[in-house]
Chains A and B, each alone.
Chain A
């Protein structure tokens, strides 16, 4: 018996070290940014805080509130409808809600602006009836409302995915019990289903908000001064790296506080003591209600995917000459990067989440929190921080005679993606792990399985859906990723996202449509493929 305990302790130490190592390596660039909080206040900092900082803060907060509201309404409602009710075409909607993920937010911003702006087709059509600028009202797409609209459409699938997974997992019994007691569906939704799904939903919103604060493409295109645009302006306009890092660090502290809220929202949450054994009850919607449910889902997907996709197709149809054979090369590069890094990142996320479950030291908890901040840092800023860390590492290795150099290798790219995207995978897996009761671990222990073998025999099979979800999200994120790829990639190595950036930066939007079309198609493949394996199981 004594031998067994000591071997278990050893395993605990193993997980402890594994978690600490991963977290510290991933967190290195983030720590680099955080340390700048302590740098002295300089003149530029004074200029910023007395002129534009209040605007940055208020705009960022409005943006976050708006997007949080938008994705909650779209994500939760659609997840509830397709999971817990029956209405026409529901089976299509189940996977179609993931499609908007395939379109990068910046692309969505370009397309909608082109479509809705004053000189675009919609308003030109309105004016063709003889109206002038001052004769009619049309909402300005390049506004904070426009940015909320774009980011909501681009990001609601995150909440949808996590909420749906949570609704699916819910044991049917509480809802069934409630149904027997003839509680109405609204009551069941608000009193039972929503509270049980809350941690997953909060995780989804946290991910969305991190992506919102780090978004640069949309807010820059719309010229909305937010924290992110401020960081870029300070760094690249005024050439003050320290002040910019300081702004980024403030943003991170804010995000940390937000994540603290998320964490505390879990405290009173008790995981269900059983896995869902039966299918959840599904309410059959009839007549007008079925019509409403159909329309809600249809409009979300139409606005988030169908319309922009058709506009891209239309645009690339008018620019057939812009299809080049080199696109297959770019698509191949995007695919290689996305598949290899999504596998690695999800594997690391599993080790991290499981390791924290086995043995959670305070140090590791904090390290994991910091390591998962990368998602909230504007792309170019984290990219530069990564380059700086790799630069230090390279110099260090050279000093000890290894002559090993990192920047510009695929390894450095995957490392960078890990720093950026580990959060998404880590949070969705950690969230799902809390739903596996400790009894499972204990049973495995009693049967003589070590922590490693119970991870493979018990946890990973139970986590299957969440692992697939994490793989989809990371894969699509890497395909869409621009700033980090742009600065860390090797020579003569372009991806689809980079091709779009090249053309868009020369304001050749129409010509970039063909690359955009392919990026969306590449993004759709895993979405369909993996969502099938998720729904097959359920």
Chain B
């Protein structure tokens, strides 16, 4: 009796959820922004194609796609970091796309060499500092942060965070492993406190006087400036922004990006969605809704981000962050970056 009920439950539940409707685009996304949901809604309204969304952590989503294999309902994988896209591609999960729109709109630096994934938006890892304690022009490069004169003045989040791992990977790519390790060691020696919290917490710590310098992603600063919470707003407007390495390789850029599953059942509609996401209108929403830099040039930025000023970005292909990620973590382990 109970068994029959359980079986019935299993079947009803199975039919209720596992049947993927033909033509609908199924998205696995590691981005958790309301502006993304609004974008999918726009797409559905314009094309009549429904978008089904499953948000999760990128590594877990990748594992799920691997386990699901050919049966995977996923059509599109969206990640908030180039390293993870590289990993998904290495696992053979992504298809090579033939789309003129995508290849012409997105610079080669921000997509896979064989077009297996594409950047959708850019985020810059900037340095912020307390202008009451530090003069303009004293900090110009990421490398400067290892200078012993900043002893006990720097705040940064933990090394388990992917943004720090990608940053270190970019330093390895630019300066080599040995110098990158020396840099990481110098940085750790200069920390004001044990690495902790998120990027916003680092900015709050500057406001509270716990440290004078922090490394953060630019949109967190923008979101704090935009915040209705007075403490957050005040903390953010009182720091100054440095786009690092402007006289050499340029500031570290990471991307949010997407690829189409090698097992996609709705390839055509999935491609339509990706192409929609790089239209001017959609790109403007990445900029306005989430304070990111659009992947397509010439799109209007949000006022707050516009005020950060012009900058040069590191031109390296972002795929390298994925390749050098394990090396970066080893260095972090060795220098004791918690």
Contact = CB atoms under 8 A, between A and B. Distances in A.
Contact of A232 (B160, B196, B208): B160
B57 interface: yes
B204 A119 contact: yes
What does DSSP make chain A's interface, helix, strand, loop or mixed?
A: helix
Given A119-B210, A487-B56, A387 B197 contact: no
B138 interface: no
Contacts of A394: 68, 71
Nearest to B14: A409
Interface stretch (A182-190, A257-265, A286-294, A499-507): A499-507
Interface stretch (A65-73, A84-92, A206-214, A236-244): A236-244
A384 interface: yes
A408 B73 contact: yes
B67 A237 contact: no
Nearest to B32: A502
Nearest to B54: A491
A47 B330 contact: yes
A57 interface: no
A60 interface: no
B338 A407 contact: no
Contact of A384 (B2, B63, B198, B333): B63
A237 B325 contact: yes
A506 B55 CA distance: 13
What does DSSP make chain B's interface, helix, strand, loop or mixed?
A: helix
Interface in A391-432: 391, 394-395, 398, 404-411
B272 interface: no
Interface string B188-215: 0000001111111100110111100000
B4 to A, nearest CB: 14
Contact of B210 (A133, A220, A398, A507): A133
Interface in A488-528: 488-494, 498, 501-503, 505-507, 510
Contact of A491 (B73, B157, B223): B73
A408 B56 CA distance: 13
B59 interface: yes
A404 to B, nearest CB: 8
A238 B205 CA distance: 30
A409 B18 CA distance: 6
Contacts, number: 157
B326 A239 contact: yes
Contacts of A132: 209
Given A119-B207, A233-B160, A223 B33 contact: no
A383 interface: yes
Given A118-B210, A133-B210, A391-B68, A44 B326 contact: yes
A391 B326 contact: no
A223 B338 contact: yes
A225 B336 CA distance: 11
Contact of B326 (A222, A237, A383, A491): A237
A304 B325 CA distance: 39
Nearest to B326: A238
Nearest to B232: A510
A194 interface: no
Highest count of chain B CB atoms <10 Å: which of A222, A240, A407, A408 = A408
Contacts of B160: 220, 223, 229, 232-233, 237
Contacts of B135: none
Interface string B299-329: 0000000000000000000000000011001
A390 B67 contact: yes
Given A119-B207, A409-B18, A491-B53, A506 B32 contact: yes
A307 interface: no
B85 to A, nearest CB: 13
Contacts of A380: 57, 60
Interface string B170-193: 000000000000000000000000
Contact of B56 (A225, A406, A486): A486
Contacts of A316: none
A483 interface: yes
B196 to A, nearest CB: 5
A47 B210 CA distance: 34
A223 B196 contact: yes
B30 to A, nearest CB: 9
Contacts of B281: none
A408 B28 CA distance: 12
Given A223-B158, A238-B326, A507-B200, A491 B333 contact: no
A411 B67 CA distance: 17
A388 B18 contact: no
B287 interface: no
20 contacts: A51-B333, A119-B231, A220-B158, A223-B157, A236-B59, A238-B330, A239-B326, A340-B9, A380-B57, A384-B60, A388-B67, A390-B67, A406-B18, A408-B18, A408-B54, A410-B16, A410-B17, A491-B73, A501-B32, A507-B223
Given A220-B158, A411-B14, A498-B55, 9 more contacts: A123-B208, A223-B157, A237-B162, A239-B87, A387-B63, A391-B69, A483-B60, A491-B54, A506-B32
Interface of A: 44, 47-48, 51-52, 113, 117-119, 123-124, 132-133, 140, 142-143, 220-225, 229, 232-233, 235-240, 318, 340, 344, 347, 380, 383-384, 387-388, 390-391, 394-395, 398, 404-411, 483, 486-494, 498, 501-503, 505-507, 510
Interface of B: 2, 6, 9-10, 13-14, 16-18, 26, 32-33, 52-57, 59-61, 63-64, 66-69, 71, 73, 87, 157-158, 160, 162, 165, 194-201, 204-205, 207-210, 220, 223, 229, 231, 235, 325-326, 329-330, 333-334, 338
